[in-house]
Amino acid sequence: MARRKMANVASETAARDLSAGVIVVLSGGGFDAMNPVEVRDRMDQYITDVNADPFVQANTGGAGLTFKLLAGQKAKHLHQAKWRQICDALRLLTASPLIVVGHSNGGAAAMDLARCLQTQGKSVDLVFSADSVLTLDDIGNINKVPPNVVLNVNPYVIPTPAWLLAPFPVGKPNRRQVDDSLDGVLNVGLTYNLPGALAHRNAFYELAGGDKQGAGYKLPHLLLQVTLAVLRGDTVYDIVHAAEAPLQVLSTKSRVVIEVETTNFKKTLRP
């Protein structure tokens, strides 16, 4: 990838009011329990990790970003079928900054939620759409990013012959809804030599750090890194171009070929 610009040190240290911030994480499937337990657990842990970050703590008065949005909500994450209810709940909140993450049907629902929020005049600072699969209630093309989304990071599975061992729907590259560009869009094509269902799981799970290792994770937690960079106020350029190094580590450790594409750049990362 093109040489990264010098990081904006001031943005990492200067105070930034995050007290009205909201984080939404959407699971897929017809119902929440259809998702592997490790994926659901990692979704909740991701929210915990974001809110435990010292910068987030310092800039929210210790409260962290809001994630409990619906009456009776037990888990930190929510199921994709609730995106309309979530949109209604966010109507009552400032919700800025706003982070939306989804996997599988949840990735599609994340884009649906962003479109719904556009009608409220709300911006979405990050949509992380992992291997998006159509829902029964989509309100537009799930692979077209609406203009109110500042940054979209879009990991998706590129099937290999091994995919046929357990076929599963896979996502696609995203582009901007208005001009079909890649402005503010980072597509991450994952060519796992794995059965489809496992590859689909990994499109979220491995970009969220993979298995636990001691107090951390075996793989780079790209999802967390990108989220914290967005919350610090780093530029889209810096965030997108900083993703190459952790993606190369993922490629090497998981032995997966990764096709990376964004504005004016396309590259293949190999183990």
For 95-106, write each residue's pLDDT tens digit: 999 999 999 999
Phi, psi of 106 (to 5 degrees): -65, -30
CA distances to 103, 160, 198, 212, 267 from 221, in Å: 15, 24, 18, 11, 21
Q: Report helix, strand or coil for 51.
A: helix
For 134-144, write each residue's pLDDT tens digit: 999 999 999 99
* Dist CA 98 CA 70 (whole Å): 16
pLDDT classification of 244: cutoffs 50, 70, 90 = very high
* Dist CA 182 CA 184 (whole Å): 6
* Per-domain residue ranges of the chain: 9-269
Q: Report helix, strand or coil for 137.
A: coil
> Does 34 score more than 90 pLDDT?
yes
Identity of the amino acid at 207: L
Q: Is 171 left (phi over 0), alpha (psi -120 to 50) or beta?
A: beta
For 150-185, write each residue's pLDDT tens digit: 999 999 999 999 999 999 999 999 999 999 999 999
Counting beta carbons within 10 angstroms of the beta carbon of residue 197, is it exposed (0 to 12), middle (13 to 18) or buried (19 or more)? middle
CA distances to 46, 54, 199, 269 from 134, in Å: 24, 36, 17, 28
Q: Chain-wide mean pLDDT for the chain? A: 95
For 181-211, write each residue's pLDDT tens digit: 999 999 999 999 999 999 999 999 999 999 9
* Dist CA 102 CA 139 (whole Å): 16
Q: What is residue 102's predicted lDDT score, i.e. its pLDDT?
A: 98
For 58-114, write each residue's pLDDT tens digit: 999 999 999 999 999 999 999 999 999 999 999 999 999 999 999 999 999 999 999
**Which residues have C-beta within 8 Å of that of residue 110, sequence separation ≥ 6?**
24, 26, 83, 100, 101, 102, 127, 128, 129, 132
**Which residues have C-beta within 8 Å of that of residue 22, sequence separation ≥ 6?**
65, 66, 67, 69, 90, 93, 95, 97, 98, 99
* Dist CA 141 CA 162 (whole Å): 28
* Percent of all residues in the chain with a pLDDT value above 70, rounded to a whole number: 95
Q: Using CA atoms of 92, 112, 129, 24 in order, give the dihedral in degrees to the nearest 10.
A: 20
Q: What is the pTM of this model?
A: 0.95
> Does 11 score more than 80 pLDDT?
no
Q: What is residue 14's predicted lDDT score, i.e. its pLDDT?
A: 78
Q: Report helix, strand or coil for 100.
A: strand
